[in-house]
Structure 1
């Protein structure tokens, strides 16, 4: 019985302990909940205060922006009022201008007796005339500037090309006098009853002149290659000492073959010197024959090689096909090899010859246009003309007889003096410039330009000369006053 009571008490105690524990846990949870509520209330108050502060800040920013917008609006309204005032003022000024223009138009109509349409047409004509005058002045200034720049560039290119060219100042001419080892050799050349000299002339086609000139004879022939063949033949005969008709024929055949070989070799050397590619064998041979031909004392083959160098250098400066220009310049006088056999100018003969042997149309055109017989249509043709003029016209390149030189100077002065109003004429710089002095009271500026062009045209048509001739017309006016 005691044990039972004890067990119930233990259960009661356990139950009481459990209740106490539950109540304690419940109370602890209530306390924590209350603490959490107090913390949440504090945090909500802080959030409310922060939100109120942010709202106040945003409201202040909005107020400031509203104030700025109001200021800008007031400024815009002020500008609109000012613009409206200016527009009204401009309208008033336009009205005044219209009134003045109407008054001027009415005054013009009263004074000139013209209607408004007629006056308007007159004003248009005056404006057109003024515009034409201004345009003419502008065009003249542009032309003057372009010409000055073009002349300067052309001089620079030509001077650079000539400066870079290394060439002899004088060229060797074909030898026409043959020196003999002794005076007795003349008798052997003539032979018994003149049979040797007759055989020599018949075989070679060259006139052998034996005169009183000591220890020398002369070879005369219009064909330079034939003359060179005869010179080699005579040189071999004189060195060998055996001179008779059969021997003359044998030596002449060998000499002719030797000259042919020398011509081909000279042509090939010219191609290498001018940096020109392959060419038809006949053109190479004819090119080599020009080794024995001269023009105003200048060796023609040397002139062609020199022209090729000058033309190539100018083409390089201008960005043109230099190989084409060198080829055209090397062949531009090829017709001179056949002028003694074919009728016509050497330009036309050379162009036909080049065309027949497969040269390009550009080269053919440059050859036929290099003397102005055909108008040049390509840059290569113009450069070929310029290279020819530079090579033939440079100082020391050519020489001519004194009589021919004097006659040319006299004719230059006669052509210039034939115009009305010309007072004096001076041929200067070895005939490369003509100064024409005109009377200022008779010849005005426009007439002076006409005289210069007419003189240049007549000189080009009537005279033959290397290079170019500059015609300068001088018109001078002087006014003198004396202060007392």
Structure 2
């Protein structure tokens, strides 16, 4: 648009120049004659020298090619107009020259303006081109990002397509399997269609039972695993709690008692003439008096603690009375016997009340009172019975067993020990025999009978045996002298060695286990279980031992070859 304006200005300048040129021609025709005469008198001025102005070549401008060509053409036309017929020095000629000069100046101004406009247009075009290039570069960058996104989406679509194809294949496979199942079901239905209602019902119930059995087995296995995880910890907590309730103090009792002599001369008086006094005393009390073992003391010894206590008290009263003769000895022993019987009943009643038992017959209460004077391996039976009862009741409450049955079983489980002072036979058998017909329930009798066994008929019976074992096996609960301990070990080993095929036998764990080694050529694997049972039975019938004794039979075959 600006270029068209410039061309219009140049065209206007040319029109003005043409008008001037026509006016000059008219003046020239009128004054032709005058001009000829004047040419002779005065030389004609070279108007071209006065008209021409230095023109800046347009080729120096950094403008587009077409505007430069137009400017050159305009410059040539102006020159031609200026070089037309010379102007006369007349006023009219002077005006014409003035007009030409003004036209040339105007044309030059127009050219300068056109050049400025062209330069401005060029600069704007360059700026616009740079802006366009920047926009193109930004568009290319955006296009690259878009292409990257499109490529990522294409990859994602490809992966989704693969996943869909895989899922489709899996669905097809499942469909085929389902078709197979449906086909089998159709075959089964065809078979069932020929069955009666009862036959079909039986088939369905059998399948249902099978499924339930599998589910039941799974649940049982899971429950067993859960129980095994918690049973050990729970049992330890229960036993620790039971032991804390059953803790009692023990005083070790021996089979001898010392009585201090007030005067050494009393020793002779106690012996009496020809030993009549001491013989009468020993016969009435059933104890033995040792006058020489301990200077200044008389040692009263007896296996039966009740008789030993009667002898001790009677001897102390005899020494205090001073009248030492057979008649007086008989009176004092009788009085002491009555007092001891009263003490025994009182202690038995006290033991029952401590455990909350109030309905036992008096004769059983009197037998229980003898526990005060009865010791088993240094363990007092009263303390032992209380400990067993406390442990058993705690265990029974934890396991929801019958606490009353366990309590009564613990109270009476060792009653046979005071019924056989000589220690012969099994105290279990003595206790069962004595309690028959005394109003004791069958459950309690079973607890007493089975408390040293390995098979139990009820949970209450097992708890009584467990409580007794815990009390007896506790370190420090029982004590025995070295000789009796060694004898018991030898007896256990000899009982095992008495059977054929036994090579070696060792009593270990303080006599609580007998380990038996057999000859493999004589005793086979099938006979080892029978041999272990027979050895255990022999020990149970012939030996006296605390707690239980485990018998382990080991049959070992060694085959050796030598490589040369």
Please tell me the TM-score bracket, short chain as reference: 0.5 to 0.7
1:361 matched to 2:438? The reply is no
Structure 1 residue 236 displacement after superposition: 0.6
* Equivalence for 1:295: 376
* Equivalence for 1:116: none
From 178, 188, 196, the counterpart of 2:259: 178
* Equivalence for 2:87: none
Residue pair 1:333, 1:350 contacting (<8 A) in 2 also? yes
Structure 1 residue 355 displacement after superposition: 3.1
1:403 matched to 2:483? The reply is yes
* Equivalence for 1:458: 535
From 338, 341, 344, the counterpart of 2:419: 338
* Equivalence for 1:319: 400
* Equivalence for 2:91: none
Counterpart of 2:264 in 1: which secondary structure? coil
* Equivalence for 2:464: 384
**Judging changes above 3 Å, is the alpha-carbon distance between structure 1 residues 147 and 429 closer, same or farther for their aligned structure 2 residues?**
farther
After alignment, is 262-271 or 219-228 more displaced? 219-228
Residue pair 1:171, 1:299 contacting (<8 A) in 2 also? yes
Gaps of 5+ in 2: 1-167, 185-218, 556-564
Q: Distance in 2 between matches of 1:223 and 1:293?
A: 8
Deviations 1:213-232 (A, max 9, x none): 31222334443322211211
Counterpart of 1:172 in 2: which secondary structure? coil
Residue pairs, 1:51-66, within 5 angstroms: none
**Judging changes above 3 Å, is the alpha-carbon distance between structure 1 residues 461 and 180 closer, same or farther for their aligned structure 2 residues?**
same
From 357, 367, 381, the counterpart of 1:276: 357
Residue pairs, 1:65-214, within 5 angstroms: 152-214=233-295
Q: Distance in 2 between matches of 1:399 and 1:452?
A: 33
Q: Distance in 1 between matches of 2:333 and 2:221?
A: 67
Larger Rg: 1 or 2?
2
* Equivalence for 1:305: 386
Gaps of 5+ in 1: 1-78, 96-137, 476-484
1:235 matched to 2:316? The reply is yes
Q: Distance in 1 between matches of 2:505 and 2:283?
A: 53
Residue pair 1:297, 1:400 contacting (<8 A) in 2 also? yes
Structure 1 residue 436 displacement after superposition: 9.2
Structure 1 residue 263 displacement after superposition: 0.2
Q: Distance in 1 between matches of 2:491 and 2:268?
A: 48
Report the count of equivalent residues. Answer: 346
Deviations 1:173-198 (A, max 9, x none): 45433332332221111112222112
Q: Distance in 1 between matches of 2:293 and 2:397?
A: 56
Residue pair 1:392, 1:467 contacting (<8 A) in 2 also? yes
Compute the TM-score of the two structures, normalised by the length of structure 2.
0.51
Structure 1 residue 153 displacement after superposition: 4.2
Q: Distance in 2 between matches of 1:471 and 1:213?
A: 44
Residue pairs, 1:403-482, within 5 angstroms: 403-409=483-489, 430-432=510-512, 458=535, 461-462=538-539, 464-468=544-548
**Judging changes above 3 Å, is the alpha-carbon distance between structure 1 residues 277 and 377 closer, same or farther for their aligned structure 2 residues?**
same
Q: Distance in 2 between matches of 1:425 and 1:343?
A: 25
Residue pair 1:170, 1:397 contacting (<8 A) in 2 also? no
Q: CA RMSD in A?
A: 4.7
Q: Distance in 2 between matches of 1:342 and 1:437?
A: 31
Deviations 1:311-336 (A, max 9, x none): 11111111112222111111111122
Residue pair 1:433, 1:471 contacting (<8 A) in 2 also? yes
After alignment, is 401-410 or 302-311 more displaced? 401-410
Residue pairs, 1:43-58, within 5 angstroms: none
After alignment, is 284-293 or 148-157 more displaced? 148-157
Structure 1 residue 297 displacement after superposition: 1.4
Structure 1 residue 211 displacement after superposition: 3.0
**Judging changes above 3 Å, is the alpha-carbon distance between structure 1 residues 166 and 341 closer, same or farther for their aligned structure 2 residues?**
closer
